[in-house]
Amino acid sequence: MTGWEQVALVAAGLGAGLLTSTVGVASLLSFPVLIALGIPPVVANASNTLGLIPASLGGSLGYRRELRGQPGVTWVLVLTAAIGSVGGAVLLLALPSSVFESIVPWLILFTCLLVGAQPWISRWLRSRRHPDDTHPRTTLSPATTIFAGLTGVYGGYFGAGAGVMMMAVLSLGLDLDLRIVNALKTLALLAANVVAGLIFVFVADLDYTAVGLLAAGSVIGGYTGSHLGRILPPTLLRILVVLAGLVAAITMF
């Protein structure tokens, strides 16, 4: 690997870290760079998952103030995403990549629609509640937990757009500020990547040079991105998430 290729990977890690803590489509940037350097797709996918763990870690540290305010949801979500990612990692190693290639872009497009329409959907859901039920939803319902787990499966399998999917699930299932949802999403991705990454260390082929260079850039990007995500207005953040998801879906068609 040449010096310029190493610089490109560090830069990709930095950019992916920023995306991890904000709009949640980090692999849209880092995975194509790995492929362009000639790394086989499955090796690139596994290496990308491991290399972006510091991005989610840095982002979660940056969001620690938001996470401290929701301890119950935080721990349930961490366990749900971690368990789901085990299934995703197994699928990556056992199935041909063509299995999900045809449906993933449509899945990302659907979740973009959910993120964009979330304010209207949430208002409709609130209008359907019993008049005496005025308490905000601050715990994960069984349905939200199941869909968060399925998102963890996808995150362990490939991950491009997993952040957008998790934002949609949590935005619809919880009555929390979008900034807090973003923090929870970042931590969920960390849990999914850590578990899947550990599996890949033992059973998958990895390019450890690429992993290290991505990690070096991504930890800085993740921490910086958390501060950007905190100050972005909710409407602008939602627009950016939808746009990033659309780009991810179009790229994967």
Q: Over the stretch 163-173, which tens digit does the pLDDT of each residue have? A: 888 888 888 88
| Mean pLDDT (the chain, rounded) | 84
Instruction: Answer with the residue of higher pLDDT: 97 or 3.
Output: 3
DSSP summary character for residue 142: H
Are the CB atoms for 3 and 213 separated by under 8 Å? no
- pLDDT surpassing 80 at residue 96: no
Cα–Cα distance list, 86 to 81, 91, 189, 225, 246 (Å): 9, 9, 13, 27, 27
Instruction: Answer with the residue of higher pLDDT: 82 or 133.
Output: 82
Q: Tell me, what's the pLDDT at 101? A: 61
pTM more than 0.85? no
What percentage of the chain has pLDDT greater than the value 70? Answer: 90
- pLDDT surpassing 90 at residue 11: yes
- pLDDT surpassing 90 at residue 156: no
Q: Tell me, what's the pLDDT at 252? A: 65
DSSP summary character for residue 158: T
Torsion, CA 96, CA 102, CA 105, CA 111, rounded to 10: -90
Mean pLDDT check: name the lowest of 1-10, 49-58, 187-196, 244-253: 244-253
What average pLDDT score do residues 5-21 get? 91
Give the tens place of pLDDT for each residue, 28-83.
778 888 888 888 878 888 899 899 999 999 999 999 988 988 888 999 999 999 99
Residue 236 to residue 152: CA distance in whole angstroms? 26
Mean pLDDT check: name the lowest of 13-27, 127-141, 184-198: 127-141
